[in-house]
Homo-oligomer: A and B are copies of this chain.
Amino acid sequence: MGASVADGARRAYRHPSDDPAALALLLRRFPGLGPLEIEQIQCLELARRRWRPGMVMLGEGQEAHPYLLLSGWVSRQRVLSDGRRLIFDLLVPGDGFGFAADANARARRQVVAVTAVETVDAEALAVLARECGPEGRLAQAMAALQREDEARLMESMVRLGRLTALEKVSHFLLEMERRTSTGPGELKGFRLPLTQQTIGDALGLSIVHVNRVLRHLRGESLVSLQGGFVRILDPLRLAALAALEPPERAARGSAV
Give A contacts to B, CB under 8 Å.
52, 54-57, 59-63, 78, 80-82, 84-86, 88, 100, 102-103, 105-110, 112, 134, 147-148, 150-151, 153-154, 156-158, 160-162, 203-204, 243, 245, 248-256
- In the complex, what distance in Å separates the CA atom of A150 from the CA atom of B99? 14
CB distance from A75 to the nearest CB of B (A): 12
Copies in the complex: 2
Closest to A134 in B: B134
Query: How far, in whole Å, are A178 and B153 apart by their CA atoms in the complex?
Result: 24
CB-CB under 8 A for A151 and B107, given A78-B158, A161-B160 = yes
A244 CB to closest chain B CB (Å) equals 10
Asked if residues A157 and B86 are in contact (CB atoms below 8 Å), the reply is: yes
> With the chains together, A106 CA to B150 CA distance in Å?
8
Q: Which residue of B lies closest to A168 (CB)?
A: B161
B residues less than 8 Å from A57 (CB atoms): 254
B147→A85 contact, CB < 8 A: no
Cα distance A147–B106 in the bound complex, in angstroms: 7
Report, nearest first, the 9 A-B pairs whose CB atoms are least far apart. A161-B204, A59-B252, A106-B151, A54-B256, A160-B160, A62-B251, A160-B161, A107-B154, A107-B151
